[in-house]
């Protein structure tokens, strides 16, 4: 090989070495000195909240509530699996290759509890990498109030090669820390919701070589669902800086297509977002695009794409599960009696008495079912429904004595009578039968 060609190769190698060192130095200085907002400040949620301008704290109705308000996870009553990929700030002049991603799974439990696990990743080529592994839990305290928390492992890492390994500046290239978040979600009414959350409660140390604390970040959000669309507003506070986020979404074609838009602004930033969703059951495909108005310019914005997979049977509301079980039993009994009625009418057309008796039984069961459905609707409107109580009739029991035993007064014997007409003969409850105490 000729000397000029060898010289050109050496120059190219030297340029590559210098570029790698420059990227590593840039990443370190960026995380240590450009305010701790830079590290772990990018919500790695999917495209749906992003398309709504990151206003999601007061709505928080899917697995992506992990990043905005973990208490909202109680609203999800089926299993959810999500994967997401994003390309922040596409078209930067320095050709930086930024990317982030997220995988999460949510598992609801009876009693309005939910667990979720998730892993998110943000990286600058091979030079800089942030990972967050989170375990989330949410519990409904009452029909209107839910509580949630995240337990997180934060890992920050800088890349290295055979050149930087010899440099004492890069003696340590990673840091792992533990952090925690919490949130509350309140259903103000059927249409209005609010939420408050706090992130990095323990202010974890994410510095390499020196202490750099990740500050506490708090969010307050409002959500409003109307027939026309859904709207959200969030306010975020961190180190005396306030940020505001607005967003909304509207469904089309029987909720098979969604359009979203959002806006965010603060002291040093402003951006606009749009988003789309299509729902080919059981999947939901979300896309979002965000463009900065101030700050970084002459770029093609940030793009995010996520896929949400909903599966499993939707869990029943714990406040009505007892009544639903009783209604199911009555429906089965009704179906059996209906079948018996059809058989009797077909085979014994000349015997009307048995048919009439079966019809009466069927009508009685139907009335009981309707009464229980009314009871269920009444119990659903109560803040703390009581469990159904049964009384086994003993010899000598009367409706008045049973009323006195359970209500402290004999005057409510009519309530017991109306709920158990088929178990009462001539005003006296049948010994050995089980009465429903309403």
Please spell the DSSP secondary structure of 337-365, one letter per residue.
HHHHHHHHHHH-TT-HHHHHHHHHHHHHH
Contact 388, 376 (CB under 8 A): no
Contact 43, 100 (CB under 8 A): no
pLDDT at residue 410, as a whole number: 87
Q: What angle do CA 308, 312, 315 make, to 5 degrees?
A: 110
Which position has the token pair 């008796």?
357
Burial class of 12 by CB neighbour count within 10 A (0 to 12, 13 to 18, 19+):
exposed
Whether omega before 311 lies within 30 degrees of 0, making that bond cis, reads no
Q: Give the residue from 142, 202, 158 showing the smallest Cα distance to 25.
A: 158
CB-based burial, 274-304: b 16+ in 10 Å, e otherwise: bbbbebeeeebebbbbbebeeebeeeebbbb
Q: How far apart are CA 74 and CA 145, in angstroms?
A: 10
> SS3 sequence, 303-321?
EEEEEEEEECCCCCCCCCH
- In CATH terms, 3-311 corresponds, of 3.20.20.70, 2.60.40.10, 3.40.50.620, 2.40.160.60, to 2.40.160.60
User: pLDDT in tens for each of the 438 residues of the chain?
Assistant: 544 555 455 555 545 554 444 444 444 444 333 333 356 665 668 899 999 999 999 999 999 999 999 999 999 988 999 999 988 888 776 667 788 899 999 999 887 899 999 999 988 877 788 899 999 999 999 989 999 999 999 998 877 655 555 555 555 678 899 999 999 999 999 899 999 999 999 999 988 778 889 999 999 999 999 989 999 999 999 988 999 999 999 999 988 999 999 999 998 889 999 999 999 888 899 999 999 888 766 678 899 999 999 888 877 665 555 556 677 788 888 988 988 888 877 777 766 777 788 888 888 888 888 888 887 877 776 655 556 788 888 888 888 898 888 888 888 888 888 888 888 888 888 888 888 888
Q: How far apart are CA 293 and CA 143, in angstroms?
A: 41
Whole-prediction pTM: 0.64
pLDDT at residue 26, as a whole number: 44
Q: How far apart are CA 57 and CA 194, in angstroms?
A: 7
Q: Give the residue from 295, 307, 337, 385 showing the smallest Cα distance to 101.
A: 307
pLDDT at residue 342, as a whole number: 83
pLDDT at residue 132, as a whole number: 94
pLDDT at residue 170, as a whole number: 55
Domain ranges of the chain: 3-311, 316-385, 388-438
Contact 186, 206 (CB under 8 A): no
DSSP string over 391-434: EE--TT--HHHHHHHHHSSGGGHHHHHHH-GGGEETTEEPTTPE
- In CATH terms, 388-438 corresponds, of 3.40.50.1820, 3.40.190.10, 3.10.350.10, 3.40.50.300, to 3.10.350.10
Other Cβ atoms less than 10 A from the Cβ of 84: the count is 24
């Amino acid at each position: 090989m000729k000397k000029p060609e060898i010289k050109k190769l050496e120059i190219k190698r030297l340029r590559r070495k210098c570029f790698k060192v420059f990227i590593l130095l840039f990443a370190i200085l960026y995380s240590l000195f450009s305010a701790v907002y830079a590290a772990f400040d990018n919500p790695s949620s999917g495209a749906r909240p992003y398309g709504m301008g990151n206003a999601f704290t007061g709505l928080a109705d899917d697995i992506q509530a992990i990043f905005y308000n973990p208490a909202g996870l109680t609203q999800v009553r089926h299993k959810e699996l999500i994967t997401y990929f994003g390309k922040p700030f596409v078209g930067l002049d320095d050709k930086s290759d930024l990317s982030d991603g997220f995988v999460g799974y949510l598992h609801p439990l009876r009693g309005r509890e939910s667990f979720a696990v998730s892993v998110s990743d943000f990286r600058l080529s091979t030079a800089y990498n942030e990972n967050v592994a989170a375990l989330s839990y949410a519990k409904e305290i009452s029909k209107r109030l839910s509580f949630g928390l995240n337990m997180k492992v934060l890992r920050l890492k800088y890349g290295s090669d055979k050149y930087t390994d010899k440099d004492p500046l890069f003696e340590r290239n990673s840091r792992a820390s533990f952090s925690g978040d919490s949130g509350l979600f309140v259903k103000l009414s059927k249409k209005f919701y609010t939420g408050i959350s706090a992130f990095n409660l323990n202010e974890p140390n994410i510095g390499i070589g020196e202490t750099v604390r990740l500050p506490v970040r708090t969010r307050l959000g409002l959500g409003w669902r109307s027939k026309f669309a859904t709207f959200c507003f969030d306010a975020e506070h961190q180190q005396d800086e306030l940020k505001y986020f607005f967003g909304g979404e509207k469904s089309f074609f029987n909720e098979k297509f969604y359009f979203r838009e959002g806006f965010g602004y603060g002291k040093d930033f402003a951006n606009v977002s749009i988003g789309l969703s299509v729902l080919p059951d059981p999947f939901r495909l979300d896309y979002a695009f965000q463009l900065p108005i101030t700050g970084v310019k002459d770029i093609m914005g940030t793009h995010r794409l996520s896929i949400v997979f909903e599966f499993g049977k939707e869990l029943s509301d714990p406040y009505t599960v007892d009544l639903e079980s009783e209604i199911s039993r009555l429906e089965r009994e009704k179906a059996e009696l209906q079948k018996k009625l059809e058989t009797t009418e077909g085979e014994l057309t000349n015997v009307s008495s048995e048919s009439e008796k079966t019809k009466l039984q069927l009508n009685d069961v139907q009335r009981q079912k309707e009464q229980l459905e009314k009871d269920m609707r009444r119990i659903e409107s109560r803040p703390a429904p009581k469990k159904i109580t049964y009384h086994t009739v003993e010899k000598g029991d009367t409706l008045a004595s049973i009323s006195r035993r359970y209500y402290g007064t004999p005057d409510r014997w009519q309530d017991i009578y109306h709920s158990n007409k088929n178990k009462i003969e001539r005003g006296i409850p049948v010994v050995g039968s089980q009465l429903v105490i309403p």
